[in-house]
Amino acid sequence: MNKKKTARALVLLLAAVLVAVEAVAIIVAWPKQAAEAAAGAETNDQKAAARLDAETAALRKRIGALAPKAAHIIIDSARNTLTLKTGKEVRLQAVVSCGSGSILEEPGGKRTWIFDTPRGEFQVKSKVVDPTWVKPDWAFIEEGKEIPKKQEERLEAGVLGDYALGFGDGYFIHGTLYSRLLGRSVTHGCVRVGDKDLKAIFQAASIGTRIYIY
């Protein structure tokens, strides 16, 4: 009987300790206010509050001024959509194809490529009519072919559509032979666009046009 009582007392004691620790943990973890802000400007003073509001409005204006006013391109790589905007006005929306996210390893494991469309802010750096694809090394490795030594053996015409907009590091917004795959993530990092939309984007964009990819 005594052993049972002792065991029960021990279990209760342990439970009580756990509950006490948990209670202390909860009290300690209770969300705190932003002390830094509280220590900041005193908003009870009406003049100080007005000054603060005016400063905030000026800061907001400066942030707003950073957004592009001219034509710019926004690409949603998750949904494979492209939006051409001027200021806040949407001029065109298109279904595109972005990077597949696949990995290619060179036999022997010397080099690895990850076929993602890069994210961030870019600019149109080149505009090409009737572009010719200069096949990079990975294209030959993927096809199981030997990497050519001569540059002219890398050239392939007609696969990038009628126009291409280069945005750096070998990445382009270009046309496609595989329009049935638009809307799917299938590319090696470039952004493929349908013929009609590509023409409109090419005409609206100029060197320096900003491209936002997320």
Partner 1 sequence: MPLLRTIWGCDFRALPVFCVLCLSFPAWGGDQTASLQNRLAKQELLLAKTPSLYFIVYLKSKMIVLKSRGMILQEWKAQSIRAWGDAPPLGPLTLEKKSTLFPPKRTKIMPAADEEEAATFELDALELKDMPSRFTLFLSGGIRLHVRPKARGLFPRLGNIGHLLGWNLWVPLKNLSFRLRKKHFAAFDISLEKKEDGQAVYWALPEGIKGLVFPL
What amino acid is encoded at 156 in this protein?
E
Residue 171, token pair as written in the block = 């990445």
Closest to partner 1 by CB, 50 or 130: 50
Closest to partner 1 by CB, 77 or 198: 77
State in angstroms the smallest separation of the CB of 68 from partner 1. Answer: 7
Strand partners, 82: 75, 94
State in angstroms the smallest separation of the CB of 197 from partner 1. Answer: 20
Closest to partner 1 by CB, 33 or 151: 33
State in angstroms the smallest separation of the CB of 15 from partner 1. Answer: 9
Q: Write out the residues near partner 1 by the rule CB under 8 A.
A: 8, 12, 16, 19, 21-38, 40-41, 43, 49, 52-53, 55-56, 59-60, 62-64, 66-68, 74, 76-79, 100-105, 107, 114, 119-121, 141-145, 181, 184-186, 212, 214
According to DSSP, residue 32 is labeled P
Are 184 and 171 in contact, with CB atoms under 8 Å apart? Answer: no
Closest to partner 1 by CB, 59 or 134: 59
Which contacts qualify for 62-68: CB closer than 8 Å, 24 or more apart?
A: 68/210
Contacts with 68 (C-beta within 8 Å, 6 or more apart), sequence order: 87, 210
State in angstroms the smallest separation of the CB of 6 from partner 1. Answer: 14
Q: In the structure, how many helices (H) and strands (E) does the chain have? A: 5, 13
